[in-house]
Structure 1
């Protein structure tokens, strides 16, 4: 039996408590200052909150395994609630072929093909939305635009698309402990999982979308026909909620920082920098787990084999050891090293799709809106993994 080194700080903190999810920043600062590795006794996991160690863990898949699950549940000992993701919850060699296929499907050629249509769509949507000076930026823009363009790109039918957000919300809640947030979603799991599973079948996908291209890769032998629906499912699980909340983050950032909005309006080419800076600043994906594949030494602390490691991406993205004035949303910063999309082998394969969606919305807004300001205090949507807004009433001044 491995004994806990006396130098290791152990804290009785629940990162999934409602108050912490509402405002995780004080806890993140406490974890960063407590040490390179902190034992969280409530869940018996090892926490990494400093940028240096989170980055190192993300890029060392051999020691920090994803295949035992990227949530609290340990697939070495527990059965997952659904078949594990071939991308998020797999390591080489099992991870390699699905990743290669999806990287190609979502590659630069695909995005070039979508760019003009998405920019036109964004212009149309923004024009409709800002016709009224006050609206909810979450429902009217952050949710509306991804749900308008992404399911079409995948090749989904129109019916049932309202299931995408609650399905993704439960999937990300399920990475945490079985708390009230998970319990709230459990009754709909059979219905939502059944609907998503059906959409991944070849016959339910259009002939020209990302889904059809994944099935074509199976026909070529790049992946198996059993893998194809699971790869389509990865798109539907991780490709909607994360983008919605990242868009919410950048809209909030601009409403709260009018000087930065002026900077974007003066140079709309900063739209992608703004999106990445918002992903660093708000970190829509706050946490992910790994599992130690052997005894791992981090800064003199041993994490025992088989133990769960909780990486605080949000804390790393505001670590003052790595970032100057980390709590400021600043378009003069180069945010490209943030870990909001992960890093290394498991880095988000759809991040360029999310960037294109954000660029389209921000470019359309910058052309039409002189000022965007919060009309009321926005309301958080709590999720065990995601940092999100439920509602964000804003007031805009037309250009």
Structure 2
């Protein structure tokens, strides 16, 4: 359904936001996108794009106009069959979205997860002690950012230990599949059936522990709050979105501190800043860089009329660096109030697990700040490319104890 260029009144771009160069460093492209206008047409994918904060925020909060049910990736579910059953949280709109969202909002609310804090703090301190016992140089991605969520979150959900190694590669493929069918998607395709089957088995009632998030979701089905068919899909969404994004959020905050030693010193002086630090890192690095929506009607934005049924690519990472919204946006600054960032989305589709992610981040940062006086990059860093996520493959660091 490529639009004739003569009918498009938006600035045109030939850039490929899913290319190697832009995935490696998206900031120059995002600056060009914001400068071009509130809406830009990406010729390569026949989609409209928005990179400024105001327009992205408005689209995220207007689910009636900017639909999620046609898919939050490039694929349009109106015409294409999804490769897996759509997420009841990300890829559904009211009324289908309402019951699953209400159930998870209650289970994952800040008051409800507070009971995890003490056990997670003990796990974090043990992890840090074990890591530092081996030396003062380690990989902040594999040894911390991935290790801690994979240690505590699956237990909180209540899934068995067998097969947990499939969580990260499955999530990586899901987030890649939101983009175009490029080499990143092709690389994960051979394992899709195996990984999908493994994750599906983790969502069954009889394999879950009786006190985890998963059991609470099945209990909601027993009460009639959701259907039995919905329960495993909601657990699947939890496992899909609750690991990769948190891992990359933790990597983002550790990278930010390693490259901004003055801010680490500030956190050590005031450990209460740990949650602010995580949100500022999510704004600064935006682990979730992009999501799509589909227009439910003709909509005029900044002088451009986008027809009904068209895909819009929202650049969350770009919005979080928009100088129209943020003062000195390219600085990681704990004196900033980062609330209002769109790194967790916004509106009714805002990340339902954000309180869990914040608790995980604050817990590991608190454990680190008690033992580590400084943290610095100690070797070549490597990005992990993903069509949707801003991720790290390796982040070698050296720490000084104190």
Q: What TM-score results when the alignment is normalised by the length of structure 2?
A: 0.98
CA drift of 1:322 comes to 0.4
Map of 2:59 onto structure 1: 57
| Pair 1:221 & 2:221 matched | no
CA drift of 1:109 comes to 3.1
Map of 1:325 onto structure 2: 328
> In the alignment, is the contact (CA less than 8 A) between 2:9 and 2:305 conserved in 1?
no
Question: What is the RMSD of the two structures over their aligned residues, measured on CA atoms?
Answer: 1.0
Distance 2:75 2:342 in 1: 22
CA drift of 1:5 comes to 4.8
Partner SS, residue 348 of structure 2: helix
Residue-by-residue CA offset, 1:260-315 (whole Å, 9 max, x unaligned): 00000000000000000000000000000000001111011111111100000000
> In the alignment, is the contact (CA less than 8 A) between 1:288 and 1:311 conserved in 2?
yes
> In the alignment, is the contact (CA less than 8 A) between 1:245 and 1:284 conserved in 2?
yes
| Pair 1:206 & 2:209 matched | yes
Distance 2:51 2:206 in 1: 45
1:326/1:144 CA distance change after superposition, 3 Å = same
Q: Which moved more, 1:124-133 or 1:197-206?
A: 124-133
* Residue in structure 2 matching 1:185, options 172, 185, 188: 188
* Residue in structure 1 matching 2:392, options 389, 394, 398: 389
Map of 1:92 onto structure 2: 94
CA drift of 1:106 comes to 0.7
Map of 1:39 onto structure 2: 41
Distance 2:24 2:17 in 1: 10
Any gaps of 5 or more consecutive residues in structure 2?
Answer: none
Residue-by-residue CA offset, 1:142-167 (whole Å, 9 max, x unaligned): 00000000000000101010000000
Partner SS, residue 336 of structure 2: coil
Map of 2:69 onto structure 1: 67
Show structure 1 runs of 4+ deviating over 3 A. 1-7
CA drift of 1:382 comes to 0.3
* Residue in structure 2 matching 1:164, options 152, 162, 167: 167
* Structure-to-structure mapping, 1:339-350, within 5 angstroms: 339-350=342-353
Distance 2:389 2:253 in 1: 15
Any gaps of 5 or more consecutive residues in structure 1?
Answer: none
| Pair 1:110 & 2:112 matched | yes
Distance 1:6 1:19 in 2: 27
Q: What TM-score results when the alignment is normalised by the length of structure 1?
A: 0.99
Partner SS, residue 146 of structure 2: helix
CA drift of 1:6 comes to 5.6
